[in-house]
Amino acid sequence: DIVMTQSPLSLPVTPGEPASISCRSSQSLLHSNGYNYLDWYVQKPGQSPQLLIYLGSDRASGVPDRFSGSGSGTDFTLKISRMEAEDVGVYFCMQGLQTPYTFGQGTKLDIK
Amino acid sequence: QVQLVQSGAEVKKPGASLRVSCKTSGYISATYAMNWVRQAPGQRFEWVGWISADGEITKSSQKFQGRVTLSRDTSANIVYLQVNSLRSADTAVYYCARDLGDGDGVSLDYWGQGSLVTVSS
């Protein structure tokens, strides 16, 4: 199975400041079609997870442009350009390339 | 708007079977595959299985060793997850999640509200 490892696991951020979360996979997520099958999700308190970024860098519908995803192969990063109070939650990555699809441990993002 | 509404919480005894349902609306259900994902207390999310848009193909994690069955009623827009021979380690919140994927991979663009399943004697 592909192992997904996130860091940090906890990230307090001052409103207006940037935030960055790393996700590494034990195998390359780059498909022969040129796409990286790496997604980012957030689970806000009391809610179901929601898709933020898919295929490594594509923002899902309705996601603010302060969220961006980058990386290829085994190293990926989610960046929030300016932290807002509504961004509090647990962020996790998922590889959708190979079954069983696997998830990172989650990074708890909150307000400093 | 797209909605995935799951069945309610359940308490089961070890060895029993469980069926969770996921009713979809707001889109043409027969054009999207569906996944099931679970999260046990204090654990990371875990993929359970995938069912094709037409219900003809299913995949599930080998971890479940054949205890899992995925099905769907395309006429009623309902997707089902059945888990047999339940054990305490199956205690988790189970989610259905729509597959945005392009066929070469999977992304989960809409999730149900979750169904809490507790397995306890």
**Any idea what DSSP says for residue B120?**
-
Closest among A5, A35, A30, A16 to A105, alpha carbons compared:
A5
Using the beta-carbon criterion (under 8 Å), do B47 and A105 form an inter-chain contact? Answer: no
Closest chain A CA to residue B6: A48
Pull the structure tokens for residue A61.
Answer: 């519908």
Integer Cα distance of A46 and A62 in angstroms: 20
**Per-chain mean pLDDT for chain A:** 97
Closest chain A CA to residue B37: A101
Q: Which pLDDT band, with edges at 50, 70 and 90, does A28 fall under? A: very high
Secondary structure of chain A as H, E, C letters: CCCEEEECCEEEECCCCCEEEEEEECCCCECCCCCECEEEEEECCCCCCEEEEECCCEECCCCCCCEEEEEECCEEEEEECCCCHHHCEEEEEEECCCCCCEECCCEEEEEC
Q: Which pLDDT band, with edges at 50, 70 and 90, does B89 fall under? A: very high
Residue whose structure tokens are 């599930």: B60
Q: Which pLDDT band, with edges at 50, 70 and 90, does B102 fall under? A: confident
> How high is the pLDDT of residue B65?
85
> How high is the pLDDT of residue B73?
94
Integer Cα distance of B21 and B95 in angstroms: 10
Closest chain B CA to residue A38: B107
Integer Cα distance of A47 and B109 in angstroms: 14
Integer Cα distance of A7 and A46 in angstroms: 23
Integer Cα distance of B32 and B113 in angstroms: 18
Q: Shortest CB distance from A96 goes to which of B105, B111, B113? A: B105
Q: A34: which chain B residues are within 8 Å (Cβ-Cβ)?
A: none
Question: Would you say B121 and B24 are in contact if contact means Cβ atoms under 8 Å apart?
Answer: no
For a pLDDT cut of 70, what percent of chain A falls above it? 100
Q: Which pLDDT band, with edges at 50, 70 and 90, does B105 fall under? A: confident
